[in-house]
């Protein structure tokens, strides 16, 4: 079993260090393969005024400092092929955001890094269509492709989870990730922010495991209600241990 965890966005180095310290404790306690994730730029925020992050150069450097200090492999979202070409070699997993999962140039650039490429399934795609995204990465000779389920749009604004997708994605890769926290988003908010309900997160995680998921994406924060991105659906850091223990 693997976990990919960390705050949604890089707010400051103190936050990254606090979360990383707890992830290392959980990793060592349960012997679970653990990756540290945080975004250097939330490029698809709902509102122009929303916090986006420190930017790519500072953000990647901060993630590298976490890897060096805590021994955690790192991953982050990229948004353009040029970003991947310049910075992709500096992370351990190149993550492709859901809205960009069909972008051929992004997938080719990610594949050429030789790194693990984690593609998040778009909310508007069925699982079978992810075959073509996988094929694009593998056309570079890179066979290290992971796929992430993060929910499906039902109508214009409702997000639901169809757990059949876990098994369908499992026909395309040996590494199926359940994004337990973004699946708990509520997209119908009209105040310029995406809402969510973190109470669903443990249920999504445990149900996904029953359907065959072998990795779990869990955004977490010491004080998620004060988090600068996706606070309502982030798991409280103090609750992460119990969930990992249950999954194991």
CATH number at residue 144: 3.20.20.70
Region of 155 please: left (phi>0), alpha (psi -120 to 50) or beta: left
List the one residue out of 76, 75, 80 whose CA is nearest residue 104.
80
Alpha carbons within 13 A on the beta-carbon side of 120: 27
What global pTM score does this model have?
Answer: 0.93
pLDDT in tens, 32-77: 999 999 999 866 655 555 667 789 999 999 999 999 999 999 999 9
Per-position b or e across 158-193, b if 16+ CB within 10 A of its CB: ebebeeebbebbbebbebbbbbbbbbbbeeeeeeeb
CA atoms of 46 and 36, how far apart (whole Å): 25
At 226, is the pLDDT very low, low, confident or very high (cuts 50, 70, 90)? confident
List of residues 6+ apart from 83 with CB closer than 8 A = 56
Domain limits at 113? 2-247
pLDDT in tens, 11-33: 999 999 999 999 999 999 999 99
Domains contained in the chain, number: 1
């Amino acid at each position: 079993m693997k976990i990919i965890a960390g705050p949604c966005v890089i707010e400051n180095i103190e936050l990254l260090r606090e979360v990383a310290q707890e992830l290392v404790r959980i990793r060592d306690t349960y012997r679970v393969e653990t990756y540290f994730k945080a975004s250097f730029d939330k490029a698809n925020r709902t509102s122009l005024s929303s916090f986006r992050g420190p930017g790519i150069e500072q953000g990647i450097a901060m993630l590298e400092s976490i890897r060096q200090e805590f021994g955690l492999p790192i991953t982050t979202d990229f948004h353009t092929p040029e970003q991947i070409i310049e910075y992709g070699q500096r992370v351990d997993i190149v993550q492709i955001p859901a809205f960009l999962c069909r972008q051929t140039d992004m997938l080719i650039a990610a594949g050429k890094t030789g790194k693990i490429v984690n593609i998040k399934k778009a909310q508007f795609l069925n699982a079978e269509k992810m075959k073509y995204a996988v094929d694009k990465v593998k056309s570079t000779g890179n066979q290290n492709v992971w796929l992430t389920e993060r929910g499906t749009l039902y109508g214009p604004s409702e997000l639901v989870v169809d757990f059949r997708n876990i098994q369908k994605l499992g026909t395309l890769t040996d590494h199926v990730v359940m994004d337990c926290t973004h699946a708990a988003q509520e997209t119908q908010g009209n105040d310029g922010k995406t809402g969510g309900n973190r109470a669903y997160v443990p249920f999504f995680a445990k149900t996904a495991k029953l359907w065959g998921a072998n990795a779990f994406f869990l955004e977490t924060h010491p004080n998620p209600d004060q988090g600068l991105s996706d606070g309502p659906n982030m798991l409280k850091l103090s609750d992460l241990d119990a969930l990992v223990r249950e999954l194991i």
